[in-house]
Homo-oligomer: A and B are copies of this chain.
Amino acid sequence: MHSREREELFININPLQTAGRTRAAVRKAVTRYVDGYSVCDACTGILHDIEKPPIKSLTRELAEFLNVDEARTTAGAREAKFMVMHSECRPGDILVLDGNAHYSTHVAASRAGLETVEVPAGPPPFFKITADAYAQTLAEVKARTGKPAALALLTHVDGDYGNLTNAAAIAAVCREAEVPLLLNTAYTTGRMPVDVRALGADFVACSGHKSWGACGPIGVVGAIGEHAAHLFRLDQRFPKKNIELLGCTARGSNIMSLMEALPLVKQRIKRWEEELENARWFAARMEHIGKGGIKLLGDNPTNHDLMRFATPLFHEIGQRQRKKGYFLHKELTDRGITGLKPGQTQWFKMSTYGLSRSQVEYLAQAFEEIAAL
């Protein structure tokens, strides 16, 4: 079954997918601009200045939406992160990053030739990233090398536990240490309100296909003040072209899909409290169903729709089932629920993003039935 058909027929709880589902207007835009360089027809050399289709307005709107001075689309959040690292640092420089950072953050740092120093996450079951830990790591780097780290990166909400970090406090610590901060919002912007300037970060990376309901791959990179001027510096010989963007990035239907996705995103972030209530209700219900055999990891109560559960109960049930570890995936599929990795029973990640309360109740009921097997 193809993805679009599955999205129509199933409740998908894969955290990679829940906030990436497209609406009809987005799919229509993709089809309209599907051919080659179609958005470039009216380009006079600067993609983000194209007035028809209104990419120029989109570019301004993105900066306003994130509250940064300048924003541009990229091929994804990882490309946005690499762009900032490559622009701000030199090979051998130190990047301080949180212990819950995504693998693509580490790979981007490898590509930029950076030494990474991790701010350790706190102990289980919370795995918390704190401002105190950032302060300590930044101080250790300075003590060791005699100068501040070149860059700090914070995963605003991480993809392992859905932990919401205190970005404002961590940004203040970075500012105090004179280290610019890149906020990776792959799991926040597009889902919940994020004001980059108010938080105090210098750069932001976003994922259009993960959290904005756009057709990927597409991301957004934003920057504030002199950081923006440097990140978006122009080529000497081709002075219309951004060096770090290689001239222009998300050309084609992907940028048109983001344009169509943005109005919905602006609306849906206002309902974030409802999303949180759904997630918290669900997590509490799961822990109740599990009677100790299902445990929410990370922030508890959760501060995000992405939740990781330790589920020794399902592992135990799997031992008695004919399909063993695959029983959970099968039982969920039989109930019209998809998105859990087959074979996984000891723990899993899931998301309730975009589901109605009655769908969340249906989900809880499904898990309750399965827990009784």
Q: Quick check: A243 and B110 within 8 Å, CB to CB?
A: yes
Within 8 A of B (CB), among A282-328: none
Q: Quick check: B216 and A37 within 8 Å, CB to CB?
A: yes
Q: In the complex, which residues of chain B have a beta carbon less than 8 angstroms from the beta carbon of A257?
A: 34
Separation of A104 and B185 alpha carbons in the complex (Å): 29
Q: Quick check: A20 and B37 within 8 Å, CB to CB?
A: yes
Q: In the complex, which residues of chain B have a beta carbon less than 8 angstroms from the beta carbon of A216?
A: 36-37, 251-254
Within 8 A of B (CB), among A1-48: 2-5, 7, 14, 16-17, 19-22, 26-27, 30-41
Listed from nearest, the 7 A-B pairs whose CB atoms lie closest are A20-B36, A3-B38, A216-B252, A75-B75, A2-B32, A16-B37, A78-B246
Q: Quick check: A215 and B253 within 8 Å, CB to CB?
A: yes
Q: Quick check: B215 and A3 within 8 Å, CB to CB?
A: no
Q: Which A positions have Cβ atoms within 8 angstroms of B?
A: 2-5, 7, 14, 16-17, 19-22, 26-27, 30-41, 75-76, 78-79, 82, 86, 103-104, 106-108, 110-111, 209-210, 213, 215-217, 235-238, 241-244, 246-247, 249-254, 257
Q: Quick check: A241 and B3 within 8 Å, CB to CB?
A: no
Q: Quick check: B235 and A107 within 8 Å, CB to CB?
A: yes
Q: How many copies does the complex hold?
A: 2
Separation of A108 and B78 alpha carbons in the complex (Å): 18
Q: Quick check: B16 and A34 within 8 Å, CB to CB?
A: no
Q: In the complex, which residues of chain B have a beta carbon less than 8 angstroms from the beta carbon of A103?
A: 238, 241, 247
Q: In the complex, which residues of chain B have a beta carbon less than 8 angstroms from the beta carbon of A210?
A: 36-37
Q: Quick check: A34 and B38 within 8 Å, CB to CB?
A: no
* Cβ 8 A contact of A34, one of B4, B14, B33, B40: B4
Separation of A257 and B38 alpha carbons in the complex (Å): 16
- For this complex, 20 residue pairs linking A to B, each with C-beta atoms less than 8 Å apart, are A2-B33, A3-B35, A3-B38, A4-B38, A17-B35, A20-B35, A22-B36, A27-B34, A30-B215, A75-B75, A76-B251, A104-B241, A106-B235, A107-B246, A110-B236, A111-B243, A216-B251, A216-B252, A217-B251, A217-B252
